[in-house]
Amino acid sequence: MQTEDMTITACLVVHDDISDLPELLTSLFGQTRKICQFVFCLTGTAGPARAAITERLPDAVIIERPDNPGFSGGINACLHESRSEFVLILNPDVVLQPNYVELCLRVFVEEKRVAGVGGLLLRLAGQDDRKEIDSAGFVVQPWLRLIDRSAGSSDLTQYQDREDVVGVCAAAAVFSTEALESIVEDEMIMDEDFWMYKEDQDLCLRLGEVGFRIVFEPQALAHHSRGWAPGRRFAVPLELRRHSLKNRYLILAKHWRIRVHGWTLPVLVLFEVGLFCALCCRDPRALKGYLLALKLLPKMRTQRRHLSLRLARRRKRTGENRPRIFVTA
């Protein structure tokens, strides 16, 4: 199969701020590989966003969700409307280089068992237009915290070769529709209990756990105006900070395995104690995130059992003795 034969849908969730949208749309129109379908989920005040979209994309599919299901719920709504073999999941605050989509699709042609591909995301550093790395895929710290690899590094040339990673940032990532459909939980692809933040980490972990690969393609470049950047924690609304904390424990509840990660327990406990103390001192109102996670724990245990069944089926099919849960860096 050639990339010209592959169909792809762009999926975006747009809330109230549409200031970055025109630049993103321009970059999508300029792709060397044509995007077949555009699907938008409007989770805030729909009027201005709808007008801005229909002016340039009169054939776009527009879904209005004034109840605001978050990024994960909005993307699920978009995926439900997609009619393509591949989906490009985007944040409105990214700008893609013209060959971004083509380079990502090429990975699916040249590699096997690939579920998702992401490129090298860059961002501006300070006020002098210097660029630094925003994300080069996800890595896992010993205390089982997924982070954006090399975030903040000014060495933009350190990655030259395509490689497997734990996950890729869904600010600009291409996924196989077939792979996504294989991990549906409760008729959802993205777990809507995450609402916002870390839902892409959970998605990539689930894909990896059932045998798919997530690939980082450093030649595919995009610029990301990340909202939650270093030093800007309190610029993020309190509700989102609570969701971010909650989602760390949803990931642990779904993906931590004693026989795989038992060796991390001492450092994990130390990290959690340090995190709790830091929140008590610096951001005590965010501690409600612990309660939000606790309420969802029974549901996460059910999803964990479903995932364990998938892992057992995979081990039976492939003969592997150990599940591939995390590749810890």
Statement to judge: residues 310 and 173 lie in one domain: no
Statement to judge: residues 212 and 247 lie in one domain: no
pLDDT digits (tens, 9 = 90+) for 108-136: 999 999 999 999 999 987 666 789 999 99
Let me know if residue 82 belongs to a domain. Answer: yes
What SS3 state is found at 98? coil
Statement to judge: residues 163 and 307 lie in one domain: no
pLDDT digits (tens, 9 = 90+) for 211-224: 899 999 999 999 99
Statement to judge: residues 127 and 33 lie in one domain: yes
Query: What's the rounded Cα separation, in Å, for the pair 172 and 100?
Result: 9
Q: Residue 239: which domain range?
A: 234-318
pLDDT digits (tens, 9 = 90+) for 58-101: 999 999 998 889 999 999 999 999 999 999 999 999 999 999 99
The mean per-residue pLDDT over the stretch 141-152 comes to: 89
Statement to judge: residues 171 and 263 lie in one domain: no
Are 216 and 136 within 8 A, CB to CB? yes
For the chain, the domain total comes to: 2
Statement to judge: residues 63 and 147 lie in one domain: yes
Q: Strands, E, within the chain: which ranges? A: 8-14, 37-42, 61-64, 86-90, 94-96, 114-125, 130-135, 138-140, 146-148, 163-165, 172-176, 213-224
Statement to judge: residues 151 and 274 lie in one domain: no
Let me know if residue 326 belongs to a domain. Answer: no
Listed residues 206, 224, 242: the one ending a domain: 224
DSSP state of 328: B
Let me know if residue 324 belongs to a domain. Answer: no
Let me know if residue 143 belongs to a domain. Answer: yes
pLDDT digits (tens, 9 = 90+) for 45-64: 767 888 889 999 999 999 99
Residue tagged 């501006």 (tokens): 124
Full-model pTM: 0.89
Statement to judge: residues 163 and 275 lie in one domain: no
Listed residues 199, 224, 249: the one ending a domain: 224
Statement to judge: residues 118 and 247 lie in one domain: no
β pairing state of 146-148 and 114-125: unpaired
Listed residues 170, 194, 224: the one ending a domain: 224
Let me know if residue 328 belongs to a domain. Answer: no
The mean per-residue pLDDT over the stretch 28-54 comes to: 89
Let me know if residue 323 belongs to a domain. Answer: no
Q: Is 275 exposed, middle or buried (0-12, 13-18, 19+ CB in 10 A)?
A: middle
pLDDT digits (tens, 9 = 90+) for 166-193: 999 999 999 999 999 999 888 899 999 9
Indicate if the pLDDT at residue 261 is higher than 90. no
The end-to-end CA distance of the chain, in Å, is: 34
For every residue of 180-222, which 3-state class applies, written as one string?
A: HHCCCECCECCCCCCCCCCHHHHHHHHHHHCCCEEEEEEEEEE
Statement to judge: residues 205 and 239 lie in one domain: no
Let me know if residue 1 belongs to a domain. Answer: no
Query: What's the rounded Cα separation, in Å, for the pair 62 and 50?
Result: 8
DSSP string, 234-260: GGS-HHHHHHHHHHHHHHHHHH--HHH
Statement to judge: residues 30 and 91 lie in one domain: yes
Statement to judge: residues 280 and 153 lie in one domain: no
